[in-house]
Copies of this chain bind each other. A is one copy, B any other.
């Protein structure tokens, strides 16, 4: 059993960590902290906690000593804040999994270019490991600090990896047309996210440059061992959860849907959390809600030479909290799927 702390528990990722860790057989939830909600009870923040016994203790401030008694902490705080908090935990021998953007790629100049602040701890950036187990598993177990991938990069990289690794693309451009549920935009009320403004709507946002791009390109180039550009167009779905990514790629000559499906199924054959659907069916976002799974589908369009890859996951689970726990399991030597075997909820 290990003692775990969650910093930034009031956000959706923090709440999801709480939901999933509550059933993890190897974990004691030792401390919950939040900058804005310190002093309140968990059930005041998440109505789903009523009567569960969880959230019965007051939420701590993020400087509380109790946090330093943990074996591992999850940081679910804004970029910049995580990088400032991390060193004190590492110095205290507490492993760190950052669910934010501060430790996802190596180049501090790139970080500053996209996040408009100098990286507070460039040395840690160099040490941090990118926590995408299916594509970077070997690097994780020994780490002190893990940068948990963004929700969009997780879906895009899992979707394109078999093509990059097998060098099946005829062009170095990845067009990612991505659609996310609103929880991906966080829990702070805004007019743009006010229920009547979102219900029945669909929209693109943040064009043409989204901060997830450098993370995707950096790791995609590592996978393909050549330069690659990502044209990333995020959209907002009028649903609370889930991500659906449609990749438009130019394939090498001679590929077919059946060949590509086989290549994808071979690539992920040993993966418990990633499933490549048969060529007879297409992924549906709803099928993975609440679970740590990613469903993939791939199609070849002979008329145009385009490969279309469909990738779905729950942005709060495989795209955040669930993947964070998957990384925790690897860091702590637990079976990788421990506490992560829930099925998606249907309907």
Contacts and interface: CB of A to CB of B under 8 A. Distances in A.
Given A47-B284, A204-B246, A299-B207, A347 B196 contact: yes
Contact of A295 (B51, B287, B299): B51
Interface string A9-40: 00010010001001100000000000000000
Interface residues of A, number: 91
A203 interface: yes
A294 to B, nearest CB: 9
Given A203-B282, A303-B209, A50 B187 contact: no
A121 B325 CA distance: 51
Contact of A238 (B191, B195, B209, B274): B195
A105 interface: no
Interface stretch (A67-75, A81-89, A159-167, A172-180): A172-180
A290 interface: yes
Contacts of A194: 187-189, 193-195
Contacts of A334: none
Interface stretch (A126-134, A137-145, A227-235): A227-235
A347 B183 contact: yes
A285 B202 contact: yes
Interface in A294-347: 295, 297, 299-304, 306, 308, 310, 341-347
Given A204-B310, A208-B301, 4 more contacts: A196-B240, A197-B286, A202-B284, A203-B286
5 contacts: A50-B293, A177-B177, A193-B195, A199-B347, A237-B237
